[in-house]
Structures are given as C-alpha cells and as structure tokens.
Structure 1
Amino acid sequence: MTVKVLVVDDSSFFRRRVSEILNAEPTLEVIGAAKDGREAINMVIKLKPDVVTMDVEMPVLDGISAVREIMQKCPTPILMFSSLTHEGAKATLDALDAGALDFIPKKFEDIAKNRDEAIKLLQQRVKAIARRRFLMRRSSVSSNTSTQTPATSARSSKFTSATRPSTRSITRNEASVAPAAPATVVKRSGKSYRIVVIGTSTGGPVALQKVLTELPANFPHPILLIQHMPSTFTAAFAARLDSLCKISVKEAADGDQLHPGCAYLAPGGKQMIVENHSNNRIRIMDVDDPKINYKPCVDITFASVAKAFSDKALAIVLTGMGADGRDGARMLREYGSTVWAQDEQTCVVYGMPQAIAKAGLAQLQLPIDRFAQAIVTEAGHG
C-alpha cells in the first residue's frame, strides 16, 4: 500500500528535494506541498495524508503551532525537520511536545555517511511512522476529540499525545518463559534490584517523559537512559526532563557517580557504560567502530550493566526502529536480570521491542501508560 505524504517547508528548493527523494521510493507518494503552517493545516484536512514532513520556522504559521492544530483537528503522523543546534533542539522538543512523532536533521549530511544512506534513512523514517496513522485516527474518533492536547496537558504528561491510545490490559510475549502477569495489576516478583536501564529510539522522547514524570522523587535506584539522539539534543532533552520530573535527570558525564532517584541520559555521539558494581561510576567513551550503528548504543550499555550488576538490573526496551538492545538484553537475561518491552499498540515504531519479543527475551510487555507504576512496584517502592 502506498504511503501518501504532505511536504511542508517555506523553501521551494527543499520541498522539491524532499519530494524527489520520497517519490523515488515506490511505496511513497507525495500528494501535496505546503509553504507555511496555515496552508499545511488546510491541506491535511483536505488531502488526509498518511504522513506530514514539517519544517519548524515558516511564515504565516510556524511548524510547532501547525503540529498542535493538526493534532487537534486531524491527527496525523508528523516528521519534523530540525537543525542540529541548541535552539533547533529546543524547537524540536517543543514540536514533539505538540504531538510530532519523530524528527530528522534538515541537513542530510548530518544523518548519514553518504547521500544514498541519507535518502534511505529518510524514506525509512516516513514509512515507519506511517504505521501509526490508523491507530491515531481511530483513537481520535473514539475519544470524540474530547481529550486535551499535549500543549495543555498536565505537567506530568506534557509529551503525551492527544491521540495516545487508552490503557490496555497487560499482555506478555508468547515466547516468554515468565509467568503471565494479572490483567489489571503488576505484582512484585520479589527480586531485588540495584539499577534500572531503559533503551529507546523513534518515539522515545515522548515515551521516556511519560514514564519518568510518573516516578516518585524518592525512587530507590539510579536509572540509565539510552535514547538515539544527536549530540546537540541530549543536553536540552535532559534539562527538559529534569524540569518536569520529580526525580533528577542529567546528561551523563564521564565519572558520574550513580545515585538513587537520578536518571542519567547517554550523551549523543558517545557510548555510556558502567564500570563495575563496586564504584558505580559511569564512563563516557568515544567508540569508533564501523560495526556499531548507534551512538549511543543500547546494546553496549545493556552489556556493561549485565557485567556490573549481574541479576540486579531491570532493563526496559521502548519504542524504536531496528533491533538495538536485543543482544544486550540477551546478555542481561543470561546474567539473571529482568527484561521488559513496550507493547506493539502503544509504540510509535514496534521495532526494538519486537526484536526483544521475537527473541523470547521479554518477560513482560506493557502499554506505555503502565510502565511507571509497574517499575515502582517491581522496584519495591509501591
């Protein structure tokens, strides 16, 4: 089935360039182009595209305002084009706050080693988030547009989309060897933990904020966060999370001591590992290995946690493209730690969690709205 795309940018050159790239993929079709946010809103309502690519800075109506209005009137998966600057990071996070699902650098040379790779990545991102369209529209209809938008929601759910599906009963992966959890509550297993580690990619900023803002200030363990994100974005993202969460959140720095009730976000372009359980310090490393596709990489952090904490880790894989985290999760399970994954219905992209589930590593699969309470319960604090 062909994915229909609306391209929005005030530059005619960029509109044409993006349209050519997307139309070069047989399963993608650009059905329209808008030069500002107001025109974009009108075209979304009229054409009902499967995906919108959106610039941030435009005349008449900016991209963030356009995203917010589109999500109110005709919820549609939106991919933002962002500049890799501090201001660009803040604007992109505001767009995710407004309801956009994902972002990609506007300068294609910033996202890939060569032009062909960049083209393929853009095409993949558009196809990936297009899968959310049906669920978003169905959820919007079922709620009869009565739910509040992300821009006006409470502090504890600022990034939550107005079209976020309602909470479902807990399910578990059929391949999991763990016993099924009750349909309405997660009971504490009785295991003891020393650390929580969460890996995610596409859709991760929204998912992480949903989980972290619901944790109590006196959460008893440190938390490691691995989010696929450019280096110019992670500091701004950590600062935003810190301003919204009861726990502390910071961009991890080399030598950081792990403390309970603090979350450490892996810096973009680097790898984050834990040295060992005796000193509980973080190491931030430059790893120049062509075999490693992600910086930061969930597999690398998960593997270090397995070695440092053995069976005392609770590892969680949330929404994201690809299979990063699968190998690390396998090592964690071998060491006796616990691995959970996000369910398919509430993922923006059911890639990373699906890889965990298919490998039989997910002991529990949960909708995003259930993770925070489940973590608190399993960690022995609720």
Structure 2
Amino acid sequence: MAVKVLVVDDSSFFRNRIQEALSSDSRIEIVGVAVDGREAVTKAVALKPDLITMDVEMPQLNGIEAVRQIMRQAPTNVLMLSSLTHEGARVTLEALEAGAADYLTKDIRAWMDRSSALTKEFIERVVALGKSRQHRPVTAFSRQPAPASSSTARVFRSEPVVAKPRSEREFRRETPQAASSTQSSSTSRSNDDRSGAATQPLSRIKVPDVRIVVIGASTGGPAALQKVLMALPASYPLPILLVQHMPGTFTKVFAERLNQQSMIRVREAVDGDRLEPGLALLCPGGMQMMLDPRQTDRVKILAGDDRMTYKPSVDVTYASVAKTYGSKVMAVMLTGMGADGCDGARLLKQAGGTLWAQSKDTCTIYGMPQAVVNAGLADAVLDLDDIGNMLAKCRYA
C-alpha cells in the first residue's frame, strides 16, 4: 500500500520541489497540498494521510500550532521541514514536543541543486514514517502510549564474544559495515522480533550496578529522550552520555531544553568535559563522542572519520565506552531508523555490558532497537514509559 502524503508549505518553490521528489517514488502517493497551517488541519481531517510534510513557518497558523490541532483532531505522523538556524532548531523542537514525529533540515541550496542524497534521504524518511503510521495508529504526543502489559518486559540472552576497539579507526577496521552509507546490516536481519523471547515482570529484570549510562537514538529520539531523562532524580549517581542523530545547529538548543525539563543536568558536550554523577552530556551534531583513553573520566569530541555515515554515531560511542568500562556499562537503544549502534552494541556485549532496547510498540521507527534485538544483543526490551524508571534504579558500582 502506497504511503499517502499531504504536503504543507507556503512556498510554491518548496511545494513543487517536494512534490517532484515524492512523485519519483512509486511507494508514495500525494493525496493533497496545503499552503498554510489552517488548510493543513482541514485537509488532515478530510484526507486522513499517513504522513504530513510540514513547513515550520507559515501564515494563518504556524507549524507548531498546526501540529497541535492535527494531533487533537486527526493524529498523524508529521515530518517537519526546518531551516538550519538557531531559531529553526528551537521551533522544530517545539513542534516535536507538540507531537511531530521527525524533522528534516531545509537547506535551500540542496533543494535548488536537486541533491540526489537529499532526495533519497527525504523519500526514505517519508516512507519509513508513513509505513509506521499504517502499521500502528498515531494517538498524539506521546504518539506511542505504553500498552496494558507495560509492567512486563521481554528478556533476551546473548552470546559473549571478544575484542574491544582502541579508537574510531580500529573500530572501523573491526566492524567495516559501520561505515556503509546504506547501513546494510539493517536489511539483512528479520523484520520481526527475535523469536522465543521470554516475557517477565519488570521486577525480575536485573538492574546492574554500573559506572556509566549511554543512550543512543535517532528518529523519534527527542521526545523519547525527554521522557527517559525526566524520570531520573536530581541525585542520580551516574554520568550519562547521549547520542542523538541531529545537526550541529540543533544539539545545543536540544540540550538546553532537556536541561530545563529534567531534574538532572544536561548540556552539549565539549572536548575535555568530565563525567559527573547526574550530568548528561549530549554529543554535538556533526561530531563524534568518545572517552579519552588517557583520562577515562573525560570525553573527547572529535570530527571523526569522514567515511562514517553518522555524525554523531552511536556505534562509535558504544565502542569507546565498552573499551573503558566493560561490564560496568548500562546502554540503552531508543527509537531510530537504520542500524547505527548495532556494531557498537556487539562490542559492548563482548565486554560484558548490559543493553536494553525500546519496544517496537513504543518506537516511532523500530530500526535501531530492532537491529540489536534481532542480533541477540538486547538483555531486555522495555516500553518507553518504563525505561527511565528502570534506569533510576541503577547504582554506582
């Protein structure tokens, strides 16, 4: 079934370019076009699309208010299109809080040049979000409420393995698929949850004593991270590293918003930052975050290898933390497209660390959690509403 899309933009140039891009893929059907937020709400109710592409800044009714009304009247996955500016980041994050599923940066030069990379990314994002809408109804922000069985979690056993990377370069040598621009590892695994999973009460899941928590996320991650971090107390005894796929102009604003919303402290990481209890460091967009091998209580922020698909990459941070802290790592894989983090998770499990994955029913996109689950690397799969509460039980080893 083709993904039904409603295109919303007050610019005739962007409306035409968006329609041109989407019309090139047979998996997509454009069912309507709107030129402002008010018309977007009306057509969302009437057309019931699987996905809406929404400009942030529009007349009559801006993108944020349009998202709020759509979530009340006709809950739908919304992909925001936002400028690469500080203000664009702020407004986009407000739209995500209002219920939008994801965003794509609106670089006019790339759109004017008809960038094939941009078109491909745009189409894949639209198809993934639209298909997730077809398979699971959207019910406003939080779009994926915890099911009635949220007091249970699926528990897995994974095989121990070997080797720890010493650097991003060594990590790339040991796991060359991490550099693949298509993340082919995600397509080689089953589309279903790992079979034979035992379901147990949350009270029976082992919460390890650890030295550090590291969380990876992509599509749907901003809302998921907010929910997780808000469940942690101000006296949280562990340092936290956050890796969210996000451009550099967005991460500082995102960290500031998380800091305002959470009881723990959150800030965008800078090179040399020290790990501290109750402090979450967010990797800057366009960079990589590792632990300093000479001072293991400090982070290193690096430009990283240009061949790496993701900047930041969950794989890189997981691998670095695994090398330094081994079995004293608590890792979490949240919602996101692709398979970033799976190779790093394998190295983390080799070192004896613990990994929890977000459940399919509560993910915006199940790709990243699905990759670690299908690879047998997840110790447990938890609903989003439970992850923060379970992390709050972790103690310093």
Of residues 225-234 and 175-184 in structure 1, the stretch that sits farther from structure 2 once superposed is 175-184
1:375, distance to aligned residue in structure 2 (A) = 1.1
1:378, distance to aligned residue in structure 2 (A) = 3.8
Q: Give CA-to-partner distance per residue, 1:213-261, whole Å, 9 cap, x none.
A: 1101111100000000000000000000000100000000100010000
Query: Any gaps of 5 or more consecutive residues in structure 1?
Result: 141-148, 151-159
1:48 aligns with 2:64: no
1:115, distance to aligned residue in structure 2 (A) = 1.2
Q: Give CA-to-partner distance per residue, 1:46-72, whole Å, 9 cap, x none.
A: 111110000011111111100000000
Partner of residue 303, structure 1? 319
Q: Report the AA paired with residue 81 of structure 1.
A: L
Q: Report the AA paired with residue 240 of structure 1.
A: R
Q: Report the AA paired with residue 334 of structure 2.
A: L
Q: Confirm or deny: 8 A CA contact 1:186 1:374 kept in the other structure.
A: no
Partner of residue 294, structure 1? 310
1:1-382 equivalences under 5 Å are 1-107=1-107, 115-134=115-134, 137=137, 140=139, 160-161=142-143, 164-166=145-147, 168-169=149-150, 170-172=152-154, 176=158, 183-187=200-204, 189=206, 191-276=208-293, 279-290=296-307, 292-379=308-395
Normalising by structure 1, what TM-score?
0.89
Separation of aligned partners in 2, 1:25 and 1:182: 40
Q: Report the AA paired with residue 98 of structure 2.
A: A
Query: Any gaps of 5 or more consecutive residues in structure 2?
Result: 161-195
Normalising by structure 2, what TM-score?
0.85
Separation of aligned partners in 1, 2:116 and 2:56: 25
3-state SS, counterpart of residue 259 of structure 1 = coil
Separation of aligned partners in 2, 1:180 and 1:4: 34
1:109, distance to aligned residue in structure 2 (A) = 5.4
Q: Confirm or deny: 8 A CA contact 1:188 1:377 kept in the other structure.
A: no
Separation of aligned partners in 2, 1:48 and 1:379: 47
Q: Report the AA paired with residue 43 of structure 1.
A: K
C-alpha RMSD of matched pairs (Å): 2.3
1:180, distance to aligned residue in structure 2 (A) = 7.3
Separation of aligned partners in 2, 1:194 and 1:76: 40
Q: Give CA-to-partner distance per residue, 1:10-61, whole Å, 9 cap, x none.
A: 0112111101110110010111100000001110111111100000111111
Q: Confirm or deny: 8 A CA contact 2:156 2:378 kept in the other structure.
A: no
Q: Confirm or deny: 8 A CA contact 2:156 2:198 kept in the other structure.
A: no
Separation of aligned partners in 2, 1:181 and 1:217: 34
Q: Confirm or deny: 8 A CA contact 2:10 2:36 kept in the other structure.
A: yes
Separation of aligned partners in 2, 1:190 and 1:87: 40
Higher relative contact order (CA 8 A, sep 6+): 2
Of residues 189-198 and 57-66 in structure 1, the stretch that sits farther from structure 2 once superposed is 189-198
Query: Which of structure 1's runs of 4+ aligned residues deviate more than 6 A?
Result: 177-182
Separation of aligned partners in 2, 1:116 and 1:79: 19
1:295, distance to aligned residue in structure 2 (A) = 0.5
Partner of residue 146, structure 1? none
Q: Percent identity?
A: 49
Q: Confirm or deny: 8 A CA contact 1:186 1:377 kept in the other structure.
A: no
Q: Judging changes above 3 Å, is the alpha-carbon distance between structure 1 residues 365 and 36 closer, same or farther for their aligned structure 2 residues? A: same
When the two structures are aligned, how many residues end up with a matched partner? Answer: 360
Separation of aligned partners in 1, 2:123 and 2:90: 25
Of residues 368-377 and 69-78 in structure 1, the stretch that sits farther from structure 2 once superposed is 368-377
